[in-house]
Structure 1
Amino acid sequence: MDKINHWEAELEILKSIIAKTVLVETTKWGGCVYVLDNKNVIGVGGFKNFFTLWFFNGVFLKDEKKHLVNANEGVTKSLQQWRFTSKEEINETEILAYIQEAIKNEKQVKIIKPEKTKEAVSIPAIFQKELNADPNLEEAFQRFSPYKQKEFLEYIETAKREETKLSRIEKIKPMILDNIGLNDKYR
């Protein structure tokens, strides 16, 4: 079944309602998305069993009428959908109220920022001795991002023999002191 054309008339009704707002229509990810100052506010789409109006930051909407559902429970944090199964369910006044609230929230920059996971970097004992012996090396190493630190540490740890690990440490010490990442020459 053609999911999009299956709901073509219903999606056109939703689009005509959205056209009454300040939102600008654009295409993202192959779908119709409406933006305010290039920020995603809402989208429309058709699925097998329903068509939907989704709010990118719908978690901040009051939803007093209980129309919204989480788009993908446990995965999405802020995306909320208003699902319809027939055009008779479309209530222009209610939809416009939800959209206006979403626009107001966007203007107030109400968003959920993705959580940054700071992974602790485990420094092998053989390299930690070198860092303890040279405060300049320690300071230079700490200036690198966790990602680049991890590159150095993996380079050391992937060696099987102790002698190879030591020679690798000797090779990277000048790079660290000169603030050159292990793989910078490839970037």
Structure 2
Amino acid sequence: MADPIKNPTVDKFISMASSWKAEFEKLREIVLESGLTEDFKWMHPCYTLEDKNVLLIHGFKEYCAILFHKGVLLKDPHGILIQQTENVQAARQLRFTSLQEILDMELTIRAYIYEAIAIEKSGQEVVLKKATEFPVAEEFQEKLDENPALKTAFESLTPGRQRGYLLHFSQPKQSKTRTARVEKYMEHILSGKGIDDK
């Protein structure tokens, strides 16, 4: 097999990493052996198959990880895939806290990568919950009921943008915090913007 093509942006990312440098290099080596194309997206090394995202490598304070974009579809016979938060629907992580852990798990990591590639080749898709399946904070529902323009604007947003707002509005435990969040973003919604849009 020909040597894998390394993306210079990933070279720079790894050389500038303040932590997990050796772990990133080993994970990169393992992933590149699979034949995936190395790219750089979302500020991290991302690996694709025919322009479809399969996985990325990223680091946090406590661990580094491989994030499988359709990880929920992996069989996970070892029970080692982690859902980052309860709201993450498709992606799953394999987490590592040392280079030795990666070396010890190398065969397993490869097996998970090849299964992720097979899933991508098969065309399988993750069925995501619809925005209508997420709870609507009572405070937001009241605003929708009393402001038809807001309701129309919200319903015109993409499902992903709707989901973002519904999750953000329903997270706080206190009603006054939920109300403040709703009021803060009403103009955003009326302008057709998602929660992270400027």
5+ residue gaps, structure 2, are 1-15, 133-144, 146-154, 158-198
- Please give the alpha-carbon distance, in whole angstroms, between the structure 2 residues aligned to 1:86 and 1:111: 32
Cross-structure match for 1:147: 156
Task: Number of aligned residue pairs: give it.
Answer: 126
Equivalent in the alignment of 1:43? 56
| Counterparts of residues 36-75 of structure 1 (less than 5 Å) | 36-72=49-85, 74-75=86-87
- Do residues 99 (structure 1) and 113 (structure 2) align? yes
8 Å CA contact retained: 1:24, 1:34: yes
Check if 1:77 corresponds to 2:89. Answer: yes
State the identity %.
Answer: 36
- Judged with a 3 Å threshold, the aligned counterparts in structure 2 of structure 1 residues 147 and 35 are, in CA distance, closer, same or farther, namely same
| Aligned mates of 1:13, 1:76 — CA distance in 2 | 27
Query: SS state of the match for residue 94, structure 1?
Result: helix
The offset of 1:117, in angstroms, is 4.2
The DSSP-based 3-state class of the residue aligned with 1:15 is: helix
Q: 1:88 to 1:78 in 2, by over 3 A?
A: same
SS in 2 for 1:107: helix
Aligned with 1:99: secondary structure?
helix
TM-score normalised over the length of structure 1: 0.59
Distance in structure 2 (CA, Å) of the matches to 1:50 and 1:34:
20
Runs of 4 or more, structure 1, over 2 Å off, are: 113-118
Cα distance in 1 between the residues matched to 2:131 and 2:68 = 26
**How is 1:1-187 mapped onto 2 (pairs within 5 angstroms)?**
4-72=17-85, 74-90=86-102, 91-117=105-131, 147=156
Q: Which has the larger radius of gyration?
A: 1
Secondary structure class of the residue paired with 2:89: coil
CA deviation map 1:51-106 (0-9, x unaligned):
1011010111111111111022x211111001011111112211111000000001
Do the aligned residues in 2 keep the contact of 1:4 with 1:46 (CA within 8 Å)? no
| TM score, norm. by length of structure 2 | 0.56
Whether the 8 Å contact between 2:90 and 2:128 is mirrored in structure 1 is: no
Q: Which runs of 5+ in 1 are unaligned?
A: 123-145, 149-187
